[in-house]
Structure 1
Amino acid sequence: MQPHIRSFPKTQMGNRKRAFKDSWYKDNIWLEYSLSKDSAFCYACRHFSLPNAPSSVFTSTTGFSNWKKALCKERGFKAHSKSDHHQNAMYAWKQHQHVVKTKSCLLDSINKEREKKIKENQLYIKTIADVLLLTATQNISQRGHRESENSNNKGNFIAILEEVAKHDPLIKKQMSAYGNSKYTSSGIQNEILECLAEMVQTEIIKEVKDSEVFSIIADETKDLGKKEQVSLVLRYYYNGTVHESFLKFQQAESLDAAGLSSMIIKCLEKYGLEYRTNLVGQGYDGAAVMSGRHSGVSKRI
């Protein structure tokens, strides 16, 4: 505590009044002053003295206040600064400052390295997403039969990523890493594709809601697992153009008209599309279950 005030309290000492001077801080960096007690103390000795250090007026509850003797060689500040226990305390204080500074520098270094790693990971994941987006929009397969290091044909995704790595040291470094930090497994690919699909779906739904009215086009097909899937396409007018945007595949639990119409309605409701007032058209194949006049999906919706 080293306050700087215009006028310190004056005390009658001998034939004149004397007071503490803040200019004394300059030559005694350890010096403290208490306004409430009008006394001086030693910061180093109060906080960093050895357990067996002798008592001193500069560490007492009253403090040093004999301003007449403050600059005397045998008493006051100079005598205190030359004492062994004060010098030991000053050494301990400086060591503490060094530790604090070093720790701060170390934490700054750790934080900078962490931020650098985060940016590198973000760039790497973005590159993987870009490659997956490329294969998806070009409608080409992503995975090969064998994606191991010894495989001659690892599939389009790995092949494109390895080609990018030839021109980008960061991608090459990440591709060469051990453990689970490559993010190239089929599971990770599917997760990223799902995230990209959600972004596309969000944009499609926004456009449909802005256009207000829309039509649906639905058709059934079997996947490789022999499970019935219904493809749902939205047709709408947006920004001066008619769009037909694929929304999603939905597995059909029931193939009758009631089950299919319920599934389509739940899908529209999930994305917040008001089919009762804004659905102006339906497109299906010629099967009676879909386009039947009396009890088909189109009639039910």
Structure 2
Amino acid sequence: MDSTYCHACRHFSPPSSAGSVFDSPCGFRNWKKATERGGGFSVHAKSERHKDSMIAWRDYQRAVKANTTLANVLDKDHSKKVKENREYIRTIGEVILLTARQNIAQRGHNESEESNNKGNFREILEMVANHDPAVKRRLTSIHNAKYTSKIVQNEVLGCLAEMVRSEIIEEVKRSQYFSIMADETKDVSKQEQISFILRYYYDGAIKESFLHFESAERLDAVGLTEKIVIVNLLGRHGLDYKNNLIGQAYDGAAVMSGKHSGVQAKIKETAPFAFYIHCSAHCLNLVLVDSIKAVPEAEECFALLQSLYVFTSGS
């Protein structure tokens, strides 16, 4: 294109000023008058629009050199806020992790500002704020992003639990061979929950690691095997149970220990090396129960406790 343009006017001219041919789409082409005293270049260089554009261009160059452009300032401010948010979220996570490790409740009965006891989580966080100005500013600010609600606490706990599970699964995969232990119990809502534990050898020691609870929709052997033990757990975590599962331990209930149609038998159909062992803790419990029956006073005491449990749970 046989045209010339003014860089300053095209990029730095005031938006309210009228345009000129030097920053138009076609540019300046009248070469006969380009260098005349009253021609294009001379007139344009003396115009107020060009002077203002040159001042704006020089200001921009100085700002770039000093690293103080609007984009840089906004970028620095954004980076600072991101860093502060990450540090604050890290503090939130560490407080929640502390309460989880100490096995103490997080929430209080009254978490209002007037309460003398807002719960372990809020009280510990406020104690940290007394020594960390950044945390204190966030807790006392008017905006809503304080991340102290029960929903956030549960989400953080879920993330921490997933990190622990991932580490357990990684250890099991490195050790290659493992055993499973499972038992069922009812929660407060009378829903059967299956507790699932992996036993494996890692880093010179035998480990027994709790994986998680799983709701049991069916308590028959097929439901417990296919929905809980094999498909929904071992398969979901990517463990090669068919070749690497070498043991399984449950209580002595027929649905679990049945030789032909119990859970252990169905697992052995796909994992032939998974030998079944009656849980030693359950064996000890059976021995203690039979021993207590030989002592009338003890038997009456436990019978009374059982009756009280049935009465209170049904009320």
TM range (shorter): 0.7 to 0.9
Q: CA deviation at 1:61?
A: 2.7
Structure-2 separation of matches of 1:44 and 1:159: 61
Residues 42, 297 of structure 1: alpha-carbon distance in 2 compared, 3 angstrom cutoff: closer
Q: CA deviation at 1:51?
A: 5.8
More divergent stretch after superposition (227-236 vs 101-110): 101-110
Structure-2 separation of matches of 1:124 and 1:181: 10
Equivalent residue for 2:244?
278
Q: CA deviation at 1:146?
A: 2.2
Q: CA deviation at 1:115?
A: 0.8
Q: CA deviation at 1:185?
A: 0.6
Equivalent residue for 1:183?
147
Equivalent residue for 1:294?
260
Equivalent residue for 2:52?
92
Cα contact 1:257–1:297 (8 A) shared by 2: yes
| Secondary structure of the corresponding residue to residue 178 of structure 1 | coil
Cα contact 1:235–1:245 (8 A) shared by 2: yes
Higher strand proportion (structure 1 or 2): 1
Residue 112 (structure 1) aligned with residue 76 (structure 2): yes
Residues 229, 84 of structure 1: alpha-carbon distance in 2 compared, 3 angstrom cutoff: closer
| Secondary structure of the corresponding residue to residue 114 of structure 1 | helix
Cα contact 2:8–2:54 (8 A) shared by 1: no
Structure-1 separation of matches of 2:190 and 2:177: 34
Residues 84, 213 of structure 1: alpha-carbon distance in 2 compared, 3 angstrom cutoff: closer
Q: CA deviation at 1:89?
A: 3.8
Equivalent residue for 2:225?
261
Higher helix proportion (structure 1 or 2): 2
TM-score w.r.t. structure 2 length?
A: 0.70
Amino acid at match of 2:48: N
Larger Rg: 1
Where has structure 1 moved over 4 Å in runs of 4 or more?
Answer: 44-53, 63-66, 98-104
Structure-2 separation of matches of 1:221 and 1:52: 83
Structure-1 separation of matches of 2:87 and 2:175: 36
Structure-1 separation of matches of 2:222 and 2:44: 96
Residues 186, 289 of structure 1: alpha-carbon distance in 2 compared, 3 angstrom cutoff: same
Structure-2 separation of matches of 1:122 and 1:298: 47
Residues 60, 189 of structure 1: alpha-carbon distance in 2 compared, 3 angstrom cutoff: same
The unaligned stretches of length 5 or more in structure 1 are 1-33, 54-58
Residue 240 (structure 1) aligned with residue 240 (structure 2): no
Q: CA deviation at 1:65?
A: 8.2
Task: Give the RMSD, CA atoms, in angstroms.
Answer: 3.3
TM-score w.r.t. structure 1 length?
A: 0.73
User: In the comparison of the two structures, how many residue pairs are matched?
Assistant: 251
Q: Deviations over 1:14-34 (max 9, x none)?
A: xxxxxxxxxxxxxxxxxxxx9
Amino acid at match of 1:90: H
Q: CA deviation at 1:207?
A: 0.6
Residues 179, 228 of structure 1: alpha-carbon distance in 2 compared, 3 angstrom cutoff: farther
Structure-1 separation of matches of 2:236 and 2:86: 31
Q: CA deviation at 1:224?
A: 2.3
Cα contact 1:50–1:88 (8 A) shared by 2: no
Equivalent residue for 1:165?
129
2:30 to 61, 73, 86: 61
Amino acid at match of 2:203: N
Cα contact 1:220–1:230 (8 A) shared by 2: yes
